[in-house]
Amino acid sequence: MRKELELEVVQSSGNVFADIGLPDAAELDTKARLCATINAIAARRALTQTALAALLGINQPKVSALQHFKLEGFSVERLMGFLVALGHDVEIVVKAKPRTRSARIAVKAA
């Protein structure tokens, strides 16, 4: 007979890095979302890695790292600067949190 596997389903917090217990989860999530936005803009414009590198003022291997979400060498500030270099506004809004949840950092691409 075949034994059925019992799986426990756990609802995500919305931050996969926090869900797996990484210490800098908020920063990692912010970097990943900023990078995803950069990659989406590059794809929409059909930019080659060389063309994107020229626009961002970095070399092609760093663009490759961005496109593969290898973000260890990139700060949140630098990623925001890349978005500005691509002609996008970056807005930071600080507001009081609802009492029903803990404070968080969120990135939303428009």
- Sketch out the chain's domains with CATH numbers: 23-110 (1.10.260.40)
pLDDT of residue 1: 65
Query: What does the alpha-carbon distance between residue 7 and residue 11 come to, in Å, rounded to a whole number?
Result: 13
Q: Within 10 Å of residue 18's Cβ, how many Cβ atoms?
A: 17
Q: What is the model's pTM?
A: 0.83
Q: What is the pLDDT of residues 43-91, one digit of tens each?
A: 999 999 999 999 999 999 999 999 999 999 999 999 999 999 999 999 9
Query: What does the alpha-carbon distance between residue 110 and residue 96 come to, in Å, rounded to a whole number?
Result: 22
- Tally the residues of the chain: 110
Closest alpha carbon to 55 in 63, 64, 66: 63
- Strand, coil or helix: 13: coil
Closest alpha carbon to 36 in 105, 83, 93, 77: 83
